[in-house]
Amino acid sequence: MDKQLLWLKKFSETCGVSGDEGRIKALMLERLYGFADVSYDKLGSVVFTNACKDNKAPKIMLASHMDEIGFMVKHITKEGFLKFVTLGGWWEQVMLSQRVTVHGDKGDLVGVIGSKPPHILSPEERNKVVQKRDMYIDIGVEDEKQARKLGVHEGCFVTPYAEMAVMGDGKTLLGKAWDNRIGCAVMADVMENISRKPGKNTVYGVATVQEEVGLRGAQTSVNMLKPDVAFVIDTCVAGGTPGVADDIAPAKIGKGIAITIFDAGMIPNTALRDFAMDVAKKLHIPTQISISEGGATDGGRIHLHGEGVVTLTFSIPTRYIHSHQSVIHLNDYLGAVKLITEMVRELDAKKYQQLLKA
């Protein structure tokens, strides 16, 4: 496995649900060591800065959230089973019988979300979706006392378990947490590129926390940085699979980086959107559009800061997001890095003024 895939494997497999992003934060610090100055907001987001000496140069924020969806232990039954709350948006049908990692005080524990075998299901149960409130995690202990002795308690974080794998064509990648670790990988690559050849602007690469539970790190970090322009780097629902219509999810994996024209939290700056299209055309980078009527990104908070921030969201098309396993394509990732790097380099004070007047 080459160096690039090894980094993607680390990004995917590192645990970091909302509120427990420390491991992925450490990985981001390792990845960008020596390429940027480091600071933090008070909620836990980490900021990588390449500063321009010109005070009139535009300030550009590249935002990608670190957290993945997961769970938190809320109760331990007397038999030693763990009841939980969900962190982020889960659909019940993708949860049962899935392996998880329980992060106890004395180390990580293997767990599985329990399910009834079909042999003992009644006819009514076979046609009924099991509700999250009725689910539990089995960690293989005798009782509550043994669970607590192993360091499990109310408030423990729980992460989905999956290993990254390269699929049939050699460029399709299966793994957990691509939402939004692939965005973190894109941001890190862009920040390294900018450090090697800076543009006429100040660039903040921000790995935000708690996006999946309300875009919280985006709000605190934008308050701290007060940027002029923001590029949000995230994932979008990929179409092209059975049962998913093109008008619901037009972007497909392997067909290019998706430029979001609408989501439930933001209508992007149209001048910045058109600028992205122009740069992509000039560099022969394939692009698609993304529309999300039922979801939003960190841009929903960022673009409303102060008097407003000129904001656009780039999305890596991803199949099966918000489950234990999802699928992306390497070409979309590489195209995103190339496009965003060039846009940042071209976005000087003159271009920023043109965006404001458009």
pLDDT (tens digit per residue) in 224-246: 999 999 999 999 999 999 999 99
DSSP conformation letters of 277-294: HHHHHHHT--EEEEEESS
60/344 Cα distance (integer angstroms):
8
46/39 Cα distance (integer angstroms):
6
Are 249 and 234 in contact by the 8 Å Cβ rule? The answer is no
Residue-wise pLDDT tens digits, 116-161 = 999 999 999 999 999 999 999 999 999 999 999 999 999 999 999 9
Are 18 and 67 in contact by the 8 Å Cβ rule? The answer is yes
Which amino acid is residue 210, in one-letter code?
Answer: Q
Per-residue pLDDT of the chain (358 residues; tens, 9 = 90+): 699 999 999 999 999 999 999 999 999 999 999 999 999 999 999 999 999 988 889 999 999 999 999 999 999 999 999 999 999 999 999 999 999 999 999 999 999 999 999 999 999 999 999 999 999 999 999 999 999 999 999 999 999 999 999 999 999 999 999 999 999 999 999 999 999 999 899 999 999 999 999 999 999 999 999 999 999 999 999 999 999 999 999 999 999 999 999 999 999 999 999 999 999 999 999 999 999 998 899 999 999 999 999 999 999 999 999 999 999 999 999 999 999 999 999 999 999 999 998 7
Catalytic residues: 211
DSSP conformation letters of 259-277: EEEEETTBPPPHHHHHHHH
Across 220-255, b (16+ Cβ under 10 Å) vs e yields bbbebbebbbbbbbbbbbbbeeeeeeeeebbbbbbb
Sequence ranges of the domains in the chain: 3-68+176-357, 70-160
Q: How is residue 55 annotated by DSSP?
A: T
C-alpha 356, offset from chain centre: 29
Considering the domain 70-160 in this protein, what is its CATH number? Answer: 2.40.30.40
Q: Which fold has domain 3-68+176-357?
A: Aminopeptidase (3.40.630)
Report which of 176, 180, 158, 159 is spatially closest to residue 296, judged by C-alpha positions: 180
| pTM of the entire predicted model | 0.97
